[in-house]
Amino acid sequence: MKRIGVMTSGGDAPGMNAALRAVVRWAAANEVEVVGIRRGYAGMIEGEFVPLAPRDVANIIQRGGTILRTARSKAFLEPEGRAEAARRLAEAKIDGLVAIGGDGTFRGAIKMTQEHRIPIVGVPGTIDNDLYGTDFTIGFDTAVNTALDAIDRIRDTAASHERVFFIEVMGRHAGFIALDVGLAGGAEVIALPEIPTGPEEIAEQIRLSEAKGKHSSIIVVAEGAYPGGADTLMKAAQQIHPFEGRVTVLGHIQRGGSPTARDRVLASRLGAAAAETLVSGSSGVMLGEVEGEIALTPLAEAVERRKPIDRSVYDLATVLAE
């Protein structure tokens, strides 16, 4: 391959820029041209292409978000939109593509490969850590540390006012952020989509905590753990056992900010490996890290197979909350 494209798509994640930098600089060191595609699949359809050289990605390893920007594309969901995207890639003489993103990004990549035979390699960039085939996704560590910093601050207020705080973190379908931040933050209860936790259990836990002399509690709730989120869950628990409570929704604050060292290293390794894998002729795979080693997983498997949470970590958090 003489020219490859690189894009960031879906929800932004800290470390995407570090992965982009690695793709560009590995390619340059191996005499391969790189074309950046702005705004993901939407920009692909519009032909928003920009050449990228090593100096174009200088000073971005520490930046959150993505310099290529990202966007949703309804047009790409239709065969005609994907055909136009393929035509634009061919017109720009782009031989293959590195796609940095999550579930939706990879599903789009699968369709492009199936329908138009475009070689594509994926890099897992999502704070949710929900892709099969990698121990951690780019952005997850930063998101956990951002949420943990907020919880540490909220705990001070909770203790001062003797209140129960329900803290909602991102995770509509996966509870990885809630699990790690709940254990690290000493939460009394962690509610995950994978392990249903109802208001009865939370009310009982708060009652037991009060009986032990605790005057405040932290309840970490993944956004998809209960219909209506943390606010609805808190109000339902208060109907069973009255308590003074507040809700904090961390929301998109978890997506932004400078990536941690761990995310920068992971992104650099996976970005360079993705460029090398694509140029070597492989396609339809995601580059991940499993037990410290680079691992290749078919894109279809990465999105279709459910990545389980570590139940032992959940059980440990429950024991330590006593």
| Residue 97 CA to its chain's centroid (Å) | 20
Q: Is 224 annotated as a binding residue?
A: no
Q: Is 11 annotated as a binding residue?
A: yes
Q: Is 25 annotated as a binding residue?
A: yes
Q: Is 134 annotated as a binding residue?
A: no
Q: Is 168 annotated as a binding residue?
A: no
Q: Is 172 annotated as a binding residue?
A: yes
Element housing 222 (H / E): strand 217-222
Q: Is 63 helix (H, G, I), strand (E, B) or coil?
A: coil
Burial class (CB in 10 A: 0-12, 13-18, 19+), 288: buried
In one letter, which amino acid is 245? G
Q: Is 311 annotated as a binding residue?
A: no
Catalytic residue among 12, 56, 95, 128: 128
Q: Is 212 annotated as a binding residue?
A: yes
Q: Is 102 annotated as a binding residue?
A: yes
Q: Is 255 annotated as a binding residue?
A: yes
Q: Is 135 a catalytic residue?
A: no
Element housing 267 (H / E): helix 261-279
Instruction: Concatenate the DSSP letters of all residues of 75-134 into one string.
Output: GGGSHHHHHHHHHHHHHTT--EEEEEE-HHHHHHHHHHHHHH---EEEEEB-TT---TT-
Q: Is 253 annotated as a binding residue?
A: yes
Residue with tokens 């061919």: 90
| Cα 55 to Cα 51: distance, rounded to the nearest angstrom | 11
| Residue 186 CA to its chain's centroid (Å) | 23
Q: Is 39 annotated as a binding residue?
A: no
Residue with tokens 């191996």: 30
Binding residues for substrate: 126-128, 163, 170-172, 223, 246, 252-255
Could you list the active site residues? 128
Binding residues for Mg(2+): 103
Binding residues: 11, 21-25, 72-73, 102-105, 126-128, 155, 163, 170-172, 186-188, 212, 214-216, 223, 246, 252-255
